[in-house]
Amino acid sequence: SRWRRISCPSISNSLPMDGGYSAWDTESPVVLAGANGAFFETRPTPCLARELAEADAALPTNAQKSRFGEERLLRVGGPPDVPEEPRGGRRRTVPSDRPVVATLPRPRQSCPMIRKPAYSPGKFLTDMGFDAESVKVALVAAGGDVDRALRILLEDGQAHAREESEWEFEGDAGWVPYDQATDEVLRDAASRGESTCAIRIEGRQYLLDFGSLTQFNLATNRTRRIRKRDQKLR
């Protein structure tokens, strides 16, 4: 491969090429670089000086200056991959020489504030179907405790159902009145003279027989007795 000079002592043109080392200013080793990127270090000899002089003389002056201006000089005796800054070359830019461009962060778009309605224990109980006046009385009696007020309302409702209900069934602990809505259905069916009536309580279906005064659970096939408040138990 063709070799080119990377770093070497200067050649004295006034001295003869066959005068041994007198053709070189110093006896420092010469570093040559091949076309394949390999580096080679050799001793300065008259033969090498002659070949380099002939190669330099064969190139035009401008091309020779361009070649020497673009070549990378390596430190003699140091690692070949550490470049040196050529004399008169372009000064390297450092971070301090570059203009500082600052960009402000974009303001984040604020999310709209969603206001939640204030918690109202009275509204919570009225939404369950209780009367507003009864809710106020229960909350005052419970000292503002919602759970306690709910128990008071349920107990009052059961007591009111016992007083107003016309029909009741036999439970495990005694006779239990039907709720107000179911009692109204039974009253309406009995007034029309129907012998049976189908009702639904807490998701369970029942069939009531007014003739035998029984309540039949369609899911469990269990039968319970029913009666009117003004009638004696048969």
Tens of pLDDT along 177-198? 888 888 899 999 999 999 999 9
Give the tens place of pLDDT for each residue, 13-57: 444 444 444 455 666 777 776 667 677 677 777 777 777 777 777
pLDDT of residue 123: 80
pLDDT of residue 41: 74
Structure token pair of residue 181 = 């809505």
- Please work out, in degrees rounded to the nearest 5, the angle formed at the alpha carbon of residue 179 by the alpha carbons of 173 and 183: 110
pLDDT of residue 110: 67
pTM of this structure: 0.36
pLDDT of residue 45: 75
Count other C-beta atoms under 10 Å from residue 169's C-beta.
19
Q: Which domains does the chain have, with CATH numbers?
A: 3-86 (no CATH), 117-164 (1.10.8), 166-234 (3.30.720.50)
- Please work out, in degrees rounded to the nearest 5, the angle formed at the alpha carbon of residue 43 by the alpha carbons of 40 and 45: 125
pLDDT of residue 132: 84
Pick out the chain residues at pLDDT < 70: 1-27, 33-35, 37, 40, 58-104, 107-112, 116-119, 161-162, 231-234
Q: How far apart are CA 173 and CA 171, in angstroms?
A: 5
Identify which of 72, 102, 105, 98 has the alpha carbon closest to the alpha carbon of residue 87: 72
Beta carbons of 122 and 132 less than 8 angstroms apart: yes
pLDDT of residue 94: 58
pLDDT of residue 89: 53
- Give alpha helix (H) positions in 71-145: 121-127, 132-142
Identify which of 218, 214, 212 has the alpha carbon closest to the alpha carbon of residue 169: 214
Beta carbons of 213 and 234 less than 8 angstroms apart: yes
Beta carbons of 125 and 153 less than 8 angstroms apart: yes
Q: How far apart are CA 23 and CA 147, in angstroms?
A: 113
